[in-house]
Structure 1
Amino acid sequence: MKKLVFVLMLAIVVSCNPEKIKPRVIVLSDINNIGGDPDDKQSMGHLLMYANEVDIVGIIPDLWEGNGVEACMQCIDAYEKDFNNPDYKFKTLNYPAPDHLRGLISRNKDEAIAAIISEARKGNTPVHVLVWGNMNTLKDALFQAPEMAQNLRIYTIATHRMAENEDALLNSRDTTQFGLRRNWNHPGRDEIYNDERFADLWWLENDWSYNGMFEGQAPRDFLGEVKEYGALGYYIWDVVQAFDWAHYFRAGDTPTLLYLLEPGIDIDNPATGSWAGKFVRPYPQSHPNYWIDDAGTADWNYAQPEETWSQATEVYQNRVNNLLQSRDAMYDAYRQKMKELYNRK
Structure 2
Amino acid sequence: MSSNKKMMHFIGLFILSLAVASCSSNMRKTESDHAQAFKARVIHTTDMGADPDDQQSLIRQLVMANEIDIEGIITSTGCWKKSQQDTTYVDKILQVYSQVYPNLTQHAQGFPTPEFLQSVSVMGQTGYGMSDVGTGKNSAGSDLIIAAIDKKDPRPLWLTCWGGCNTIAQSLWDLKNNRSATELAEIIKRIRVYDVLGQDDAGTWIAKTFPELLYIRSLAVYSWQPSDEYLVEHIQSHGALGSAYPNRQWATEGDTPAFLHLINPALNDPDKVAQGGWGGRFAEKKQPAIRGMKCMKGEDELYDPYYMYGDAAEGGKAISRWQTAYNNDFQARMDWTITPQYEDANHHPHAVVNGIKSEKVVYLTAKAGDSILLSASGSYDPDGDKIQYSWELYKEASSDNSDVAILQPSNVNTQLMIPTDAKGKDIHIILTIVDDGEPNLYAHRRIAISVK
Whether TM exceeds 0.5 here: the answer is yes
Matched with 2:193 is 154
CA distance in 2, matches of 1:30, 1:240: 17
How many Å separate the matches in 2 of 1:232 and 1:341?
8
Q: Percent of pairs identical after alignment?
A: 23
Which residue number corresponds to residue 46 of structure 2? 29
- Range moving further from structure 2, 108-117 or 127-136: 108-117
Q: Is the contact made by 1:259 and 1:267 (CA closer than 8 Å) also made in structure 2? A: yes
Give the match for residue 334 of structure 2: 338
Query: How many angstroms apart in 1 are the aligned matches of 2:268 and 2:95?
Result: 33
1:71-130, Cα deviation, whole Å (9 max, x unpaired): 01111011011124xx55358633111111111012354111111111111121111111
- 1:42–1:251 Cα contact (<8 Å) kept: yes
- Deviation at residue 276 of structure 1 after TM alignment: 1.7
> How far off its partner does 1:328 sit?
2.1
Which residue does the alignment assign to 2:221? 210
- State the 1:264 CA deviation: 2.6
Indicate the structure whose relative CO is greater, using CA pairs within 8 Å and at least 6 residues apart: 1
Q: What is the alpha-carbon distance in structure 2 between the residues aligned to residue 284 and residue 212 of structure 1?
A: 21
The count of corresponding residues between Structure 1 and Structure 2 is 270
Counterpart selection for 1:329 from 321, 325, 329: 325
Q: Deviations over 1:16-50 (max 9, x none)?
A: 89335421110000002xxx311011111111111
The 5 A counterparts of 1:1-80 are 15=32, 18-19=35-36, 21-32=38-49, 36-63=50-77, 65-80=83-98
Q: Unaligned stretches of 5+ in structure 1?
A: 1-10, 159-182, 297-317
Tell whether the 8 Å contact from 1:82 to 1:90 is kept in structure 2 after alignment.
Answer: no
In structure 2, do the counterparts of structure 1 residues 342 and 264 end up closer, same or farther at CA, with 3 Å as the change threshold? Answer: farther
When Rg is computed on C-alpha atoms for both structures, the one with the higher figure is 2
Q: Do 2:67 and 2:110's aligned partners in 1 also have CA atoms closer than 8 Å?
A: no
* 1:113 corresponds to: 142
2:315 partner SS: helix
1:121-160 → structure 2 map (5 Å cutoff): 121-122=150-151, 123-146=153-176, 147=184, 148-158=187-197
Q: Secondary structure at the match of 2:195?
A: strand
- Using structure 1 for the length normalisation, give the TM-score: 0.70
- Residue segments in structure 2 that go unaligned for 5+ positions in a row: 1-27, 126-138, 177-183, 289-304, 346-452
Deviations 1:254-286 (A, max 9, x none): 00000012343222222122112221034489x
Specify the SS of the correspondent of 1:37: coil
CA distance in 2, matches of 1:13, 1:191: 38
Q: Deviations over 1:231-261 (max 9, x none)?
A: 112212xx227x4x56xxx111000000012
Which residue identity does 1:69 align to in structure 2?
A: T
Query: For the aligned residues, what is the CA RMSD?
Result: 3.0
Choose which of 244, 260, 263 in structure 1 pairs with 2:262.
Answer: 260
Cα pair 2:287 2:310 within 8 Å, conserved:
no
Amino acid in structure 2 at the alignment position of 1:116: I
Q: CA deviation at 1:341?
A: 5.2
Amino acid in the other structure paired with 1:199: P
| 2:236 equivalent to 1:240 | no
Q: Which residue does 1:221 correspond to in 2?
A: 229
Give the Å deviation of 1:52. Answer: 1.1
* CA deviations over 1:182-238 (Å, ceiling 9, x no partner): x4x23212211222xx1110112112x111134xxx4212212112333112212xx
Does 1:81 find its partner at 2:77? no
Matched, 1:279 2:296: no
Cα gap change, 1:67 to 1:92, in 2 (>3 Å): same
